[in-house]
Amino acid sequence: MRDISWLTKQPVAHRGFHDMNKKVWENTLSAFARAAERGYAIECDVHLSLDGEVIVFHDNDLRRLAGREGYVWQKTAAEFGALRIGGTDDHAPTLKETLDLVAGRVPLVIELKGIPGHDAGLVAKVGSLLKDYSGDVAIMSFDHWLIRDFERDAPGIPGGLTAWGDQQQEIEAHFSMLSHGISFVSYAVDHLPNRFVSFVREKLSMPVITWTVRDEAAVKRTFALADQMTFEGFEPEKAAVA
C-alpha cells in the first residue's frame, strides 16, 4: 500500500476554513487560503461543468450557494466563474484554480460528487489535473461507480471511500469497496464505532479520517476510534483532544 501518512498529520478543514458561511463561504478560494495559512489540510468537493471542466462546488443545484435556479451540469466553467457565492466576491473556482492557489502548501483531499448521467469522465479529468501536481493530494467519493474508476482513470493518486451508516446492509456495501484499491476511508463520526472501520484500521492498517467534526465530543470520538478529523466551525487547537 502506498504511503499516505501525510493524510493524518494535520486536521482537515471541511470545504476549506470557512466561517460557517457568514463572510467566508465554503469551497471558495478565500476559505482555502485561510486553511493554507493556518496549516490545515483542505477537503473540497468537485463536479463536472456543462463543458467538462472540474468545478469546486458541493451541491447538485445552485440555490443554497449561489442563489440561482438550475443545476451544476447546466452551467459552463465560465458561468461558474461569474457566479458569486453567498453574495460575496468569491466565485465557484475550478479545481485548477484551487491547485494553483494551494500549490502544495498543505494536503488536499478532493471528494468527487457523482450525478448519474452527468458525471461521465469526472474521474479521468480529475486524474489528468492531478497528474503533475507536486503536493500531497488524494481523491475520495461516496459513489461506488466512481471509485471503481479510480485506479484506471487516476493512477497513482491515493483513493478513498467516503461513507456513513452502521446498519448491516450499509457495512456490507462498504466492505465491497475494498476490492477496488482504496487507500483510506473517510467516515461519519456519528456512526462510529462500527466493524468496517475497526477492520480497515486494525487488519489492513488503513488510515481513517472522520467527518464532520463540529464539537469537542466529536473530537474525542475521532481520536478514540479513528486517526484524524475533518472539521468545521472551530479551530482545532482550541479543542481538547483526549
Q: Report DSSP letters for 133-174, one per residue.
A: --S-EEEEES-HHHHTTHHHHSTTS-EEEEE---SHHHHHHH
Of 179, 161, 158, nearest to 170 by C-alpha is 161
What would the pLDDT profile of 29-58 be if each residue is shown by its tens digit? 999 999 999 999 999 999 999 999 999 999
Residue ranges of the domains in the chain? 5-238
What would the pLDDT profile of 107-131 be if each residue is shown by its tens digit? 999 999 999 999 999 999 999 999 9
pTM: 0.97
Give the pLDDT score at 3.
83
Given phi > 0 = left and psi -120 to 50 = alpha, else beta, which region is 165? left
Which CATH code is given to the segment(s) 5-238?
Answer: 3.20.20.190
Q: How many CA atoms lie within 13 A of 61 on its CB side?
A: 6
